[in-house]
Amino acid sequence: MKYLLYLLMLSITLLAGQEKVTLELSWKHQFQFAGFYVAKEMGYYRDVGLDVEIIEYEYGKGVVEDVLNNRATYGIGKSSLLISKNRNKPIVMLGAIFQNSPSVLITTNPDIKKPSDLAAKEIMITKNEVQSASITTMLLSNGISKEELKIVPHSFNYKDLLNKKTDAMACYISNEPYFLEKSHIPYRVFDPKDYGFDFYGDILFTSEDEMKNHQQRVRRFYEATHKGWIYAFSHIDKSAKLIFEKYNTQKKSLESLIYEAKIIKKLALVKNIPFGHLSKTKFKEIAKVYQLAGLLEGECSLEGWIDPLNFNKKNVKIGILAKRGSEGTVERWKILSEYLNSKFEIYNFTIVPLAFIEIEKSVAQKEIDFLITNPLSYVQLENKFGISRIATLLSEGDGKMSLLNKFGGVIFTQADNKNINRLDDVKGLLFGVVNENSLGGWAVGYEQLIDNGIKKSEIDIEYLNTHDAVVKSVMAKKVDVGIVRTDTLERMQKEKKIELSDFKVINRLEYDGFPYLVSTKLYPEWPFSKLNHTDEHLSNKIVSVLLAIDIDENPELQKVGDWTVPLNYLTIHSLLKKLKIAPYNTIEITLIDIFEKYTLEIYILSFFILFLFFKIFYNFRVSRYLRSYNKQLKNSVEIRTKELKEANEKLKVLANNDFLTGISSRGYFEKIAGKYFEMAKRNNTMLQVLSIDLDYFKKINDTYGHKAGDEVLKETTKTIASYLRTSDIFGRIGGEEFSIVLQNTSLDGALLF
């Protein structure tokens, strides 16, 4: 009894600590909402402190209004949430359960073989024109006028198709087909997606208030829901049984629930698209359909209310050496992550600033996916972890859109320090440097000291971790001399943190076209590198995006710089060898080790000879190894350069040509067609545009399969191309739709084609 009382008290305590939230569905209980049931019954919601009530849809209710009026915390909507947002409804979309809408049009009338055959035929569609927009737009786009569109009230009874009470009915592809197949009734499906009207299915949404005031609760609810859906699709039979036993108000059979599950799984789990992903590009296309239907007015901003917490994107972390501190690094480089996010909708790129001591750990533990660091650090990580550079930075030049592929170091002191004028004057003084692994903030300056006969032992060193800290220490006279990367002083003056006139450059050098103060040799710029675990396909895409950046068109990226192919780093390797910095630091064996092991009086002479022999042999082996390594490295660089050039050529072809037919892709066609159009306007010449659509093409796919359809497309384009001039442009717009632009051609000439 005491044990039962304890369990009761524990249960009450657990329940008291749970937040009550409500989810309102868009229809009656069925597998369509399986992930939510699983998350509740498997305890996924409970594990994150949530007590979730799932409310079944009731006729006459508005899910959006219920969520906004706090009658429900979360709701399930359709793509039409776009219209609600356009009408200033404060909602936030969290994720799409189905990437493709299950709403289709079904007919059992054998005489209806294409959408246009439904002209003046009775079609059961819901009265809600918003919900039926994709279907009605599909019909209108296939030649049916509004006058010929005969819509009758929806009975929600598939038997009306069998009793011929309607010619077609709006249905869910996961429901009605099951009953028709069980009755052995032939039917035909018209899916709006096949006609270019690709809408989302169920979309999980909440209010702006919930997102603003309970962001962590939103995160916990969504992550538990995501877990529920993944389980539901991985265990269809168990999930269907759960719904059959506990959520079966429609009294569906277990078999029908399993049928439904297999269909909607294909709509939810689409290859190369994260579960729940919401695409701004896709919503823009949906918005166009709503605008054509007169349901959406003006432009609808998509910022801030489509997956604002990036639930449905693959996180990609770019580690960046924080040479000027974490805050400054994020401020400078966030523009690059934002640019990449605009180019890759399914990824969320974030900047991870890393101090020198953090880089190796982050790479070793795979805490980042890409790394931007100085060449010295890169060479060490390449040697130890096998990271590989995919591009090289072109840094900002003199502010006039010039870009530099090299940098160096500047050695400086206070302007009023009359005792330091040359490098010979720095012996015995305190140097402020960034880090022993900083190229511009130490290594290049160290090389300059060595070249001027100054040993490391002849100066004192204080490591200050950032370039800004070095400059401030020199300015405050805490150190006598500083070494920082070129461009640091100029940037800090531009930021009004210092005045250049307060400093004196020691050993000042000049290089043609190099605009910054410099005291050392110049070395190749920072590399953009990928880690071994990083997806190769993503890396290739990023390379193509980086190399395609046009600073003139994207001036905001001037703050970061531009990118070029990986540069040759042999000079970096030579520098590290010269300075004996890892991975070229030499292990020395001293006589002290031998003295501790043997009696000096007995073995001194023989050991000395042995040691000399070993030293000569060792140096010979190291020298041979380094020559071999240099040769291999040179060959590797040449091979990598060749492979990258070939890859870039392939990327260019893939971007300009349709992968199936080999003719121009839609994007390339529109780009060249635009230029032709401008030329025709400028030169006052004639230009004709031909639009080609293959009739009955879907029938070919349905009858002979998509491979046969592909062959038809290839042979068709090959035949058409044979009649074209080299000056004409021929492109595939989508599916079986093509277009041709004829330059300097009259209308009569075009008709002859």
CATH number, residue 115: 3.40.190.10
Mean pLDDT of 355-367: 96
**393 neighbors 450 (Cβ within 8 angstroms):** no
Q: Is the pLDDT of residue 398 over 50?
A: yes
175-232 pLDDT, tens digit per residue, is 999 999 998 999 999 999 999 999 999 999 999 999 999 999 999 999 999 999 999 9
602-635 pLDDT, tens digit per residue, is 667 667 677 777 777 777 776 777 677 667 767 7
In a domain, 79, yes or no: yes
Confidence of residue 2 (pLDDT cuts 50, 70, 90): very low
For tokens 């329940």, the residue is: 15
Least confident of 157-161, 468-472, 625-629, 674-678: 625-629
In a domain, 3, yes or no: no
Helix (H) and strand (E) counts for the chain? 27, 27
249-301 pLDDT, tens digit per residue, is 999 999 999 999 999 999 999 998 999 999 999 999 999 888 888 888 877 77
Distance CA 398, CA 421 (A): 27
Q: Are residues 559 and 706 in the same domain?
A: no
Domain boundaries, position 598: 586-656
With a pLDDT cut of 90, the percent of the chain lying above it is 64
Least confident of 206-220, 440-454, 648-662: 648-662
pLDDT of residue 1: 45
pLDDT of residue 419: 95
Q: Read off the pTM.
A: 0.68
Distance CA 458, CA 301 (A): 63
**Alpha helices, DSSP H, located in 657-738:** 666-683, 697-704, 706-722
Q: Are residues 286 and 361 in the same domain?
A: no
- Nearest CA to 134 among 191, 63, 82, 204? 191
Backbone angles phi, psi at 392, to 5 degrees: -125, 140
pLDDT of residue 602: 63
Q: Would you state the structure tokens that stand for residue 273, as one six-digit string?
A: 């698209």
Distance CA 93, CA 283 (A): 12
pLDDT of residue 491: 93
Average pLDDT, whole number, for the chain?
89
pLDDT of residue 279: 93
Q: Are residues 136 and 54 in the same domain?
A: no
Strand order in the sheet with 122-124: 150-152, 122-124, 168-172, 103-107, 188-190
pLDDT of residue 600: 62
In a domain, 661, yes or no: no
pLDDT of residue 426: 96
Q: Are residues 595 and 471 in the same domain?
A: no
Mean pLDDT of 531-554: 93
In a domain, 15, yes or no: no
- Helix (H), strand (E), coil (C) string for 16-81: HCCEEEEEECCCCCCHHHHHHHHHHHCCHHHHCCEEEEEECCCCCCCHHHHHHCCCCCEEEECCCH
Of 614 and 318, more confident: 318
7-21 pLDDT, tens digit per residue, is 444 344 444 579 999
For tokens 């919401």, the residue is: 278
pLDDT of residue 274: 93
Q: Are residues 222 and 90 in the same domain?
A: yes
Q: Are residues 357 and 279 in the same domain?
A: no
pLDDT of residue 747: 80
Confidence of residue 704 (pLDDT cuts 50, 70, 90): confident
Confidence of residue 588 (pLDDT cuts 50, 70, 90): low
Quick check: helix, strand or coil at residue 203? Answer: strand
pLDDT of residue 719: 87
As for how many domains the chain has, the answer is 6
Confidence of residue 643 (pLDDT cuts 50, 70, 90): low
What is the torsional sign of CA 39, 43, 48, 49?
Answer: positive
Least confident of 46-55, 292-301, 361-370: 292-301
Q: Is the pLDDT of residue 402 over 70?
A: no
pLDDT of residue 665: 85
Distance CA 443, CA 572 (A): 10
Q: Are residues 90 and 218 in the same domain?
A: yes
pLDDT of residue 110: 94
Q: Are residues 390 and 531 in the same domain?
A: yes
Cα 272–chain centre separation: 12
Mean pLDDT of 687-694: 88
Cα 295–chain centre separation: 32
Per-range mean pLDDT, top range of 290-294, 465-469, 749-753:
465-469
Cis peptide before 515 (omega within 30 of 0): no
Least confident of 116-120, 204-208, 582-586, 658-662: 658-662
pLDDT of residue 129: 64
**424 neighbors 430 (Cβ within 8 angstroms):** no
pLDDT of residue 616: 79
**410 neighbors 518 (Cβ within 8 angstroms):** yes
Least confident of 48-62, 265-279, 363-377, 585-599: 585-599
Distance CA 108, CA 165 (A): 11
Q: Is the pLDDT of residue 652 over 50?
A: yes
Mean pLDDT of 474-499: 96
Q: Would you state the structure tokens that stand for residue 609, as one six-digit string?
A: 């000879």
In a domain, 305, yes or no: no
Domain endpoint, select from 147, 170, 195: 195
Q: Is the pLDDT of residue 159 over 80?
A: yes
Give the pairing of strands 74-77 and 406-407: unpaired
pLDDT of residue 172: 92
**502 neighbors 415 (Cβ within 8 angstroms):** yes
Domain endpoint, select from 242, 262, 292: 292
In a domain, 297, yes or no: no
In a domain, 307, yes or no: no
With a pLDDT cut of 70, the percent of the chain lying above it is 90
Q: Are residues 222 and 92 in the same domain?
A: yes
Domain endpoint, select from 173, 195, 217: 195
Distance CA 420, CA 455 (A): 17
Q: Are residues 396 and 544 in the same domain?
A: yes
pLDDT of residue 6: 39
pLDDT of residue 526: 97
The number of beta carbons lying within 10 Å of the beta carbon of residue 80 is: 23
Q: Is the pLDDT of residue 751 over 80?
A: no
In a domain, 576, yes or no: no
Q: Are residues 460 and 489 in the same domain?
A: yes
Q: Are residues 329 and 426 in the same domain?
A: no
For tokens 């006039």, the residue is: 400
Least confident of 107-121, 451-465, 641-655: 641-655
Q: Is the pLDDT of residue 660 over 90?
A: no
